[in-house]
């Protein structure tokens, strides 16, 4: 609970149009795009696979995939499983992979603050050899930040 007599930290004004956080939010900060990324990370690669898992409509999925490809976050490719016809798939590019810290942080936050008691099955993000991975906030001096209220926004130009 905030103390209403405390002196307020001054308002850091970075115009939305020039803020890389705001830009990132405009590019990937929408529900369907994020859910689609989750699907691709989980290994879904085909249009209908994603659509069935998410219950998204074809038109919106088509639209979002196009945007994600255009932004260079996903790439579209063709593949052919042996004995199967050629198909099209979507996969993360390097730029898409670079979103892992965001996704993992979101996953952690959801797991810690949104779970309603029991958790039957949990999505884990780990290395190929089975090591758990988690995000940490590290200060310039190498120490981990544990108290989030110690973090403030400023403008460096």
Return the sign of the alpha-carbon dihedral for residues 116, 121, 122, 123: negative
Query: What does the binding site for DNA look like in residue numbers (CB under 7 A)?
Result: 30, 32, 46-49, 55-60, 62-63, 65, 76, 83-89
CB 99 within 8 A of CB 37: yes
70 binds, among DNA, a copy of itself, none (CB under 5 to 8 A by kind): none
Cα–Cα–Cα angle for 78, 82, 83, rounded to 5 degrees: 110
CA 137 to CA 118: how far, in whole Å? 28
Q: Please state the closest distance from residue 77 (CB atom) to DNA, in A.
A: 10
Residue 11 DSSP class: P
Candidates 57, 60, 62, 79: give the one binding a copy of itself (CB under 8 A).
Answer: 79
Neighbours of 144 (CB within 10 A): 8
74 binds, among a copy of itself, DNA, none (CB under 5 to 8 A by kind): none
What contacts 13, CB < 8 A, 6 or more positions away? 155
By CB under 8 A, residue 134 contacts a copy of itself = yes
Q: Please state the closest distance from residue 107 (CB atom) to DNA, in A.
A: 22
By CB under 8 A, residue 91 contacts a copy of itself = yes
Which residues from 22-61 bind a copy of itself, rule CB under 8 A?
A: 22-31, 34-35, 38, 41-45, 49, 53-55
105 binds, among DNA, a copy of itself, none (CB under 5 to 8 A by kind): a copy of itself
């Amino acid at each position: 609970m905030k103390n209403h007599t405390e002196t307020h930290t001054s308002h850091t004004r970075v115009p939305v149009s020039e803020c890389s956080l705001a830009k990132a939010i405009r590019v990937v900060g929408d529900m369907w795009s994020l859910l689609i990324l989750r699907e691709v990370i989980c290994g879904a690669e085909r249009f209908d696979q994603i659509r069935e898992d998410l219950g998204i409509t074809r038109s919106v999925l088509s639209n979002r995939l196009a945007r994600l490809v255009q932004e260079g976050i996903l790439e579209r490719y063709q593949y052919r499983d042996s004995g199967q016809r050629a198909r099209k798939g979507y996969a993360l590019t390097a730029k898409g992979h670079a979103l892992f810290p965001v996704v993992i942080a979101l996953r952690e936050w959801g797991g810690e603050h949104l779970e309603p008691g029991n958790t039957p099955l949990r999505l884990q993000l780990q290395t190929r050899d089975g090591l758990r991975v988690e995000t940490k906030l590290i200060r310039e001096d190498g120490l981990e930040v544990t108290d989030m209220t110690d973090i403030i926004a400023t403008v460096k130009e």
